[in-house]
Amino acid sequence: MELLRVVWRQYRWPFIGVMALSFASAALGIGLIAFINQRLIEVADRSLSVLPEFLGLLVLLMAVTLGSQLALTTLGHHFVFRLRGEFIKRLLDTPIARIESMGSASLLAGLTSDVRNITIAFVRLPELVQGIILTLGSAVWLAWLSPKMLLITAVWLVVTILGGFVLVARVYRHMAVLRETEDRLYQDYQTVLEGRKELALNRERAEYIYQQIYLPDAVHYRKNIICADTYHLSAVNWSNIMMLGAIGLVFWMANSLGWANTNVAATYSLTLLFLRTPLLSAVGALPTLLSAQVAFNKLKQFSLADYQPEFPRPGASKPWQTLELRDVVFHYPDNQFHVGPINLTLKRGEKVFLIGGNGSGKSTLAMLLTGLYQPVSGSILLDGQPVDDSNMDAYRQLFSAVFTDVWLFETLLGPRGETADPALVDEWLQRLKMAGKLQIDEGKINNLNLSKGQKKRVALLLALAEQRDIILLDEWAADQDPHFRREFYQVLLPLIQEKGKTIFAISHDDHYFIHADRLLEMRQGLLSELTGSEREQASRDAVARTAN
């Protein structure tokens, strides 16, 4: 399994140590059977030393077996910890466009279901390892007792194992189908949770979502999980019954064929009984390992960025004067929307407003400007110097942004990830009219149960605390009441500009376009600047203009 190969590459020496403990455990188990055979069956030693020796071997076997299992389980949890951490880091390093194309439902399923299945597999892995090692070790011991009986018994066990593998293979196929179905179920859960208000208002839509979308996925999941469990239980029962049959076969070979005496037959039976539980546990552990392999393959399919343990820390940004998008073109993977070529020059300290209808490309332009989307062609220039992969992280350090789908973080951070300036935070808490509504303790916001407009104010506070050069605001004022909207355009934006910040704001508030240094418009993926009569017309009625 590729999963185990990855463990071998990352934890080779600890894995070798764990295997050594497992072999020691198997050797002690076989030694205990040999002790019983030689001291309690064949010779029937009646000395008082037999019991302490026997109990000592039991305690030693228990300690070594437990130690090997705990060591393997601990190794597995270390691997899962590393796998989860690498997955999160790769998510953070993967381009935004790639993340958006995958969808949050499948990624959440990967972080929860897939990682959980891998964790469960490593918890069960000791059972598989112990079963395999004990079986191989016991085979050596049984061959020493009677090669002919071992040959027949081995054939019987091979048939047992092959039958189990045939059944387990069907478990694997259903597990693969289940994993795909889980993605759809996560999407259904997301629809119910995020659309709960609309579904509460429209019971017909709620019924449709439940009957036509959720139930088919749930029924498909139920069908496959029942099939998987059926084959799994069949494999366990097949192995259980065949192991009991092996004991009867041993006594038939000893008594009817005369291949061994009763003592050897008893030892064979005792060994098979000893193997029964580890072997059944090993067969039972196989589905979890197969499920883990499915999960591991699913995680690989995301094609995230390569893992890099470090977080690059660009140096302090140098003073800049102009930022230019030159012939920038971008299109989404489905090629249904195309932006560009875009030519735009921003000057330091400007206050620029961007208008445009829905679907005109405003938010896409914002993503390109901030470096979150990579252009298909064209270039971004900072003071005439091209921005590429080598300095993209440093370029993004110029921006703080509040997007329409705002997400609030609890911790206020200042420049370079340091603690935010308390005086600056207090000043903007007052100006944003949030001083009595937020509880901030050592730079951490304790209550974020706020209205949408208040959340936008907190998001702006977080952005201003970072003290970056450019503030990008995507429809920030849309959720504010009329009084605070006027305060935002007439007082707050000029104050931000006075502090040396460059402002790029997406807006539909035509009454306040006069406060912009420049007015830009996106229309069908193309950018233009409005001046003169065009700007006056837009300032009078932006809605009428974007509708044309």
Instruction: Determine what percent of the chain is predicted with pLDDT higher than 90.
Output: 0
pLDDT in tens, 145-179: 788 888 888 888 788 878 877 787 787 778 778 77
Burial class (CB in 10 A: 0-12, 13-18, 19+), 175: buried
Q: Confirm or reject CATH 3.20.20.60 for domain 322-544, answering yes or no.
A: no
Residue 434 and residue 457 in contact, taking contact as beta carbons nearer than 8 Å: yes
In this prediction, residue 169 carries a pLDDT of 74
In this prediction, residue 546 carries a pLDDT of 56
In this prediction, residue 79 carries a pLDDT of 76
Q: Quickly count: other Cβ atoms within 10 Å of residue 228's Cβ.
A: 23
* Residue boundaries of the structural domains of the chain: 1-146, 147-259, 322-544
- The H or E element containing residue 178 is helix 147-194
433 phi/psi in degrees, rounded to 5: 60, 40
Strands 399-402 and 470-474 turn out to be parallel
pTM > 0.75: yes or no: no
User: What fold characterizes domain 1-146?
Assistant: ABC transporter transmembrane region fold (1.20.1560)
Give the pLDDT means over successive 10-residue stretches in the chain (548 positions).
68 77 77 72 66 82 80 76 79 78 73 74 70 75 79 82 78 76 80 74 76 86 86 81 82 81 77 74 71 76 77 71 88 74 88 83 86 84 84 83 80 79 84 79 74 84 86 84 85 88 84 81 83 71 56
In this prediction, residue 46 carries a pLDDT of 65
- The H or E element containing residue 249 is helix 215-255
In this prediction, residue 541 carries a pLDDT of 60
Q: What is the DSSP string of 471-496?
A: EEEESGGGGS-HHHHHHIIIIIHHHH
pLDDT in tens, 395-449: 888 888 888 877 777 778 888 777 788 888 888 888 888 877 777 777 777 777 7
**DSSP conformational letter for 513:** G
In this prediction, residue 44 carries a pLDDT of 61
In this prediction, residue 1 carries a pLDDT of 61
In this prediction, residue 486 carries a pLDDT of 85
Structure tokens at 174: 């259903």
Q: Quickly count: other Cβ atoms within 10 Å of residue 384's Cβ.
A: 8
In SS3 terms, 52-71 reads as: HHHHHHHHHHHHHHHHHHHH
By three-state DSSP, how is residue 375 classified?
A: coil
In this prediction, residue 540 carries a pLDDT of 63
Residue type, 9: R
In this prediction, residue 39 carries a pLDDT of 67
